[in-house]
Amino acid sequence: MAVARRFLTLLLAFAAMVVGIEGIRRAVDWWNAALPAPTFIDYVLIASLPLIAWLWWRYLSPFRRSCACQTPVSPPAPASGSDSAAPSSRESRDTAPTGR
């Protein structure tokens, strides 16, 4: 089940990317007056750009809220035992006496 979902997500991401790129190309051509006569598909591709951008940002982007890459990285565990490690650079900077 998870493999099928990943495959469908990959397929949707690829389709959204293709439609988005073609929509941007048609919009640029239209803006620069390089399209001789826009067809219905040109209008559909240009009009679908906001929807594609929203779908990409909401469901396919690595910046979405539910992405695993958004979880904060936990700091490494402190050394165990009687090791007296030197303070980290941040601790030494915060506790260092100032010359002024």
- If phi > 0 it is left, if psi is from -120 to 50 it is alpha, else beta; for residue 32 that is alpha
CA distance 82 to 80: 7
Instruction: Supply the pTM of this predicted model.
Output: 0.54
pLDDT, tens digit only, all 100 positions of the chain: 788 888 888 888 888 888 889 989 988 888 888 877 878 988 888 888 898 888 877 777 777 666 666 666 677 777 665 555 555 555 555 565 666 5
Closest CA to 46 of 18, 15, 75, 25: 25
CA distances (Å), origin 65, targets 35, 50, 60, 71: 39, 20, 11, 9
Q: Strands (DSSP E) along 1-100, which ranges?
A: none
